[in-house]
Structure 1
């Protein structure tokens, strides 16, 4: 029996944004001698290296959003429209963090018109057949990808704390199956991504309906059994229900391929040292063995 590889798929934006805001609230932007802010990258590295030490992957791939315009904004102009421009101190760190990832000889993966989630979903489906996949993120949306061979580690408050979701523990933790998250969000919407779902149906009602009817399709086939108020809300918002479900679903057929040979977790320490020195990360050097 062949030994299965352990592949870590990193949600790059989730780590970078989290790292930026975890340090920026103190006004601690850290800068290079040239004045380029690096606080998000520094914290990204701390999160990332901690996860590598804890989960010991054989392969690592880092996935990125490629701008705010995607097929989802084409479907619904309001998608994520509630989010302002990124802070000016973060903007130069977007390209720079990818240079740091490349210094570790890790692939940076991103596809125009799709989100990092879609790249992660596609690669996870591809890799899970012969390998064990672990997704590192702070984004709960990715939980819909949990499956045989795919686990998700959600970063919690404080470095080194993770909530790991597997096919075996998912129902116990959430009361539904991973795939049902898509239908749940179709009903209740998502305020952080700015789509409404069915107006007037919140998380509690949505969860109750999904537990009772299993899916939106089954729910719609049994509308006559629903309380009148709930039925009216669904009938009035039918288009938005279907659209919200489409927005919530992570695409797992994005046109990408990332050969595992390019993702083996091994690096040239000198190359990383050079990058760290360029960024004035002198005390970061000791974190890489």
Structure 2
């Protein structure tokens, strides 16, 4: 019975940190602390997570982090995310601060060197599959491949409170393929934001048709002789990149993240917590968690 299962909110800490940083940085609002270190991204991340807790009403929480810009995918493909600009100097100190604040608030945090936050999210879903209901909060559509009957993905839409929420049925209806096939689709189309090309000359429409007809990259390759000459030629010219793109697109779900559920409990935000946040220069977090007067 679904309602008896624990409900784990899994937060893509990196996505919320970046989003919060850019929401205020463009107007020059960095909210420096007593040491003149910017805190806008950190405070925004924490407030966003607190809002998500009140919206989705989870029983438990896990926050996932990237640990540095290089991962095993850079070893597979040197250009992976290589074209992305370096983070703004005002954001750099906030990576460690955000993880520290997350832990100071008693939120269970996960970060493993060489792995992306996506891989931690995927591994948590695999760990708790069947034992808990999971809601993932992120801005990253790549995570849609992880949808399952008890998993929903809430993509950030506007401000702290608006989300585009996907379950497996909505995904199938909108995309015309299963969540697992999303990886095969991206193998053909590539991903310009992650910097891998897929198969040159094959766009989303052709990719979708191929996946709907043959089920997967392997299915398409096995039926190569049936394909239109032009499509076959493009695939043959880029077959190695097709296989590599599939490997880059797939979220790695094999990490061991088997902490007892009690470690993921959400502690109450007390007056004491608010005081501690205030002392550390995080007055916006203090106010959101323990408002002095109604907003």
Cα deviation 1:17-61 (Å, max 9, x = unaligned):
011111111111111121010111121122211111110000001
- Does structure 1 residue 168 correspond to structure 2 residue 175? no
- The aligned runs of 1:174-213 (5 Å cut-off) are 174-213=175-214
Asked if 2 retains the 8 angstrom alpha-carbon contact of 1:123 and 1:258, the reply is no
- Rounded to whole Å, the distance in 1 between the matches of 2:91 and 2:10 is 23
- Rounded to whole Å, the distance in 2 between the matches of 1:119 and 1:244 is 20
Asked if 1 retains the 8 angstrom alpha-carbon contact of 2:43 and 2:284, the reply is no
- Does structure 1 residue 241 correspond to structure 2 residue 242? yes
- Rounded to whole Å, the distance in 1 between the matches of 2:285 and 2:188 is 45
Q: Where does residue 49 of structure 1 map in the other structure?
A: 50
Structure 1 unaligned residues grouped into runs of 5+ = none
- Kindly state the Cα deviation for residue 270 of structure 1 after the two structures are TM-superposed: 4.2
Cα deviation 1:75-127 (Å, max 9, x = unaligned):
11111101121111001111111111112211110111111111110111111
- Rounded to whole Å, the distance in 1 between the matches of 2:276 and 2:113 is 27
Q: Where does residue 293 of structure 2 map in the other structure?
A: none
- Rounded to whole Å, the distance in 2 between the matches of 1:200 and 1:82 is 21
Q: Where does residue 219 of structure 2 map in the other structure?
A: 218
Asked if 2 retains the 8 angstrom alpha-carbon contact of 1:7 and 1:57, the reply is yes
- Does structure 1 residue 32 correspond to structure 2 residue 33? yes
Going from structure 1 to structure 2, the CA distance change for 1:95 and 1:271 (only over 3 Å counts) comes to farther
- Does structure 1 residue 103 correspond to structure 2 residue 104? yes
Q: Which secondary structure does the structure 2 equivalent of 1:89 belong to? A: coil
Of 188-197 and 255-264, deviating more is: 255-264
- Does structure 1 residue 88 correspond to structure 2 residue 82? no
- Kindly state the Cα deviation for residue 204 of structure 1 after the two structures are TM-superposed: 2.2
Structure 2 unaligned residues grouped into runs of 5+ = 291-295
- Kindly state the Cα deviation for residue 288 of structure 1 after the two structures are TM-superposed: 1.8
Of 113-122 and 264-273, deviating more is: 264-273
- Rounded to whole Å, the distance in 1 between the matches of 2:60 and 2:40 is 26
Going from structure 1 to structure 2, the CA distance change for 1:271 and 1:228 (only over 3 Å counts) comes to farther
Q: Where does residue 11 of structure 2 map in the other structure?
A: 10
Cα deviation 1:248-267 (Å, max 9, x = unaligned):
00011013333211110123
Count how many residue pairs are aligned between Structure 1 and Structure 2: 289
TM-score, with structure 1 as normaliser: 0.95
TM-score, with structure 2 as normaliser: 0.93
- Kindly state the Cα deviation for residue 283 of structure 1 after the two structures are TM-superposed: 4.6
Runs of 4+ in 1 over 2 A off after TM superposition: 255-259, 278-287
Q: Which secondary structure does the structure 1 equivalent of 2:179 belong to? A: coil
Cα deviation 1:134-187 (Å, max 9, x = unaligned):
111000000000002111111113331111111222211222110011001100
- Rounded to whole Å, the distance in 2 between the matches of 1:133 and 1:49 is 17
- Rounded to whole Å, the distance in 2 between the matches of 1:102 and 1:203 is 41
- Rounded to whole Å, the distance in 1 between the matches of 2:259 and 2:99 is 16
Of 94-103 and 233-242, deviating more is: 94-103
Root-mean-square deviation over aligned CA pairs:
1.6
Cα deviation 1:4-26 (Å, max 9, x = unaligned):
10000110000000111111111
Asked if 2 retains the 8 angstrom alpha-carbon contact of 1:111 and 1:256, the reply is no
